[in-house]
Amino acid sequence: MVYNWLNIEQFCLLCDERCDPEHSLCGACEADLPWLGPQCMVCALPLPAAGLICGQCLKRPPAFDQVVAPWRFDFPIDSLINRFKHQSRWPLGRLLAELLARHLKHLFNEDLPRPSALLPVPLASKRLRQRGFNQARMLADWLSPALRIPVRNELLQRTMDTPAQQQLDAAGRRRNLRQAFALPDKKQLHDQHLAIIDDVLTTGATAEALARLLKRAGAARVDIYCLARTPKPGD
């Protein structure tokens, strides 16, 4: 083909098959990802049927309005996220962010309201020093141009290094989390629709603590955008 030399060949990041130059995954690998399927309309917990709210959200409605997560935290998404986070594999993080952006654009076209800002979950400074980067911030920086929504890092800050959550009971964890974050400029939050960006939603405790803080400061709506959801809290 005459124009072939213009095309940069693209290979699927998962199976090495040649794929569409616009994408980093071939169609087969993309279809095989652990797409979340039927889920709680509030917290995205996988459920047997669509359009329902899970028992926990009914009993104790969370402070956040809606969780958006395209995938279950299962193979190969779990391994992609771990390699991005712990082996600094940026292209994998970027690929996941691109797919999340596409998923969100689709939902915005349906009926999901667009937030006015993206707020990455800040990392404790000790962990930031160990890892050298904040994966939530990187995801937000990749999502922002694709969605045309600004990242507002400065609105949400980490105040201190909290003790490891595993050693605490549920009440201790909530207390621990509430004290871990600060909002330096509450006026900016008034009546805003904000989206918190994180990589994986597990117990939802961090999301809940942040959403509650933001709502108390006057935010009108708080959504959580993340890559993956664990099947059950704590799994």
HSE toward the beta carbon, residue 57, CA cutoff 13 A: 22
Which listed range, 45-53, 78-86, 131-139, 213-221, lies at the site for Zn ion (CB under 5 A)?
A: 45-53
Minimum distance, C-beta of residue 60 to Zn ion, in the bound complex (Å): 10
d(CA 169, CA 60): 18
Q: Tell me: does residue 57 bind Zn ion (CB under 5 A).
A: yes
Q: Tell me: does residue 155 bind Zn ion (CB under 5 A).
A: no
Nearer to Zn ion, 26 or 81 (CB): 26
Q: Tell me: does residue 220 bind Zn ion (CB under 5 A).
A: no
Q: Tell me: does residue 156 bind Zn ion (CB under 5 A).
A: no
Quick one: DSSP state of residue 167? G
Examine residue 62 and say whether the peptide bond preceding it is cis (omega within 30 degrees of 0): no
Intra-chain end-to-end CA distance of the chain, in Å = 51
Nearer to Zn ion, 62 or 122 (CB): 62
| Residue the block writes with tokens 């600094």 | 88
Which listed range, 14-22, 89-97, 113-121, 152-160, lies at the site for Zn ion (CB under 5 A)?
A: 14-22
Q: Tell me: does residue 52 bind Zn ion (CB under 5 A).
A: no
Tokens of 174: 């909530």
> 155 near 147, Cβ under 8 Å?
no
Whole-Å CA distances, 229 to 44, 139, 199 = 7, 16, 9
Q: Tell me: does residue 207 bind Zn ion (CB under 5 A).
A: no
Q: Tell me: does residue 40 bind Zn ion (CB under 5 A).
A: yes
Minimum distance, C-beta of residue 5 to Zn ion, in the bound complex (Å): 24
Q: Note the residues at the interface with Zn ion (CB under 5 A).
A: 12, 14-15, 17, 26, 29, 40, 42-43, 45, 54, 57
